[in-house]
Amino acid sequence: MKRKIKCIICKEPGKLEIKEIQRPEITQERVIIKIRRIGICGTDLHAYKGIQPFFSYPRILGHELAGEIVELEEDLPGFKIGDRVTFIPYYPCGKCIACRKGKPNCCVHIKGAGVHIDGGMIEYMSVPRDSLIQGRNLSFEELALVEPLAIGAHAVRLAAVESGEFVLVTGAGPIGIGIMEILKIAGAKVIAMDISKERLDFCSKITDIDNIINASEPPDEQIKEITRGDWPTKVFDATGNADAIMGGFEYLAHGGKYVLVGIQKGDICFNHPSFHKRETTLMSSRNATREDFEHVINSMKGGLIKAQSYITHRIPFDDAVNAFDTLTKPGSGVFKAILEL
């Protein structure tokens, strides 16, 4: 008789339920992971609120995942049953123009767990063998935070950030702070900006960033003073807010790069002469690659990132349905919530 397992399904905006489904079976190209920790991401919350692009319902949420290998059909170099692992939760086709150019993170036919296909808010999950990332004795909590930090690592690498340059990050949520952490490792002079004093205080506490700007007050003069009139040579948006994204064009130095990490559902617009005179480079950064995951794990192992300090809420798996309403409310005090199995 096939065993049943529990999963959390977002049936439609605002409606989650715990459901029993068939446990996945082992196949030659996949492994079975016992999920131990699940990071609740902005993507999950946006899907719950009905504002997530590239999303369809019903869907099992979850892509910030850590677990242990419980079934492995044949030998896989570097892995064995019982190993703690995370994995790359977006699966490329391997054949399209992006994949052939070494950019599987933006594959034309990409299937993102918890977005395009069912994700990891589930007791046991079948994942492709080639997506596994060795946990190297990190804790399950640390491993569940590798993926969001890898998003930041990818954006920083894409922008070719250099030591000593001023870099502005708008949005001091988990992705924004992850970008800041990777920027610090790269030697950048980081400026953090948000409209939330609570988030900025949290950012200052866990990252030791000196340059903090509350965007509730006009930020122009503050940015100008910090950079001694040069303005930041790189700006990263991690807000996913249309107004913030469009405002960010005006904070960039001449010859600089603007990197959009956050995403929203509508169009953006900007003043062309202002954009043109700066010879601005506008970039988007999507997902991450194995190189980025490994950079994050090495940084954690070296003590450069203390990811567990991000966690403000630990929630038992069975309580997740009731918890989501609280997590989406302003003033909840949530920075990063983790589901525990």
Query: Could you tell me if 131 and 50 lie in one domain?
Result: yes
Q: Are 260 and 283 in contact (CB under 8 A)?
A: yes
Three-state DSSP at 316 gives strand
Residue whose tokens read 């960033």: 209
Would residue 38 count as lying in a domain?
Answer: yes
Q: Which amino acid appears at position 11 of this protein?
A: K
Would residue 120 count as lying in a domain?
Answer: yes
- Cα R_g (the chain), whole angstroms: 20
Residue-range definition of the domain harbouring residue 247: 153-284
Residue 316: CB atoms within 10 A of its CB come to 10
Query: Could you tell me if 189 and 68 lie in one domain?
Result: no
Q: What is the pLDDT of residues 264-320, one digit of tens each?
A: 888 999 999 999 999 999 999 999 999 999 999 999 999 999 988 999 999 999 999
| Contacts of residue 80, Cβ cutoff 8 Å, sequence gap at least 6 | 69, 72
Query: Could you tell me if 22 and 88 lie in one domain?
Result: yes
Would residue 301 count as lying in a domain?
Answer: no
DSSP state of 117: B
Residues of the chain with pLDDT under 50: none
Query: Could you tell me if 95 and 125 lie in one domain?
Result: yes
Would residue 79 count as lying in a domain?
Answer: yes
How many domains, in total, are found in the chain?
2
Query: Could you tell me if 190 and 62 lie in one domain?
Result: no
Would residue 290 count as lying in a domain?
Answer: no
Query: Could you tell me if 130 and 159 lie in one domain?
Result: no
The upper half-sphere exposure of residue 287, i.e. CA atoms within 13 Å in the direction of its Cβ, equals 21
Would residue 295 count as lying in a domain?
Answer: no
CATH code of residue 269: 3.40.50.720
**Is residue 75 exposed (0-12), middle (13-18) or buried (19+ Cβ within 10 Å)?**
exposed
Query: Could you tell me if 172 and 239 lie in one domain?
Result: yes
- Report which of 123, 111, 97 is spatially closest to residue 21, judged by C-alpha positions: 123
Query: Could you tell me if 230 and 311 lie in one domain?
Result: no
> What CA–CA distance (Å, rounded) separates 151 from 218?
29
Would residue 291 count as lying in a domain?
Answer: no
Residue whose tokens read 């990197």: 259
Query: Could you tell me if 107 and 176 lie in one domain?
Result: no
- Report which of 174, 149, 124 is spatially closest to residue 341, judged by C-alpha positions: 124
Query: Could you tell me if 108 and 182 lie in one domain?
Result: no
Q: What is the pLDDT of residues 165-193, one digit of tens each?
A: 999 999 999 999 999 999 999 999 999 99
Query: Could you tell me if 129 and 8 lie in one domain?
Result: yes
Three-state DSSP at 301 gives helix
Q: pTM (2 decimals)?
A: 0.94
Query: Could you tell me if 122 and 215 lie in one domain?
Result: no
> Beta strand pairing status for 281-284 and 59-60?
unpaired
CATH code of residue 327: 3.90.180.10
Would residue 299 count as lying in a domain?
Answer: no
> What CA–CA distance (Å, rounded) separates 293 from 176?
17
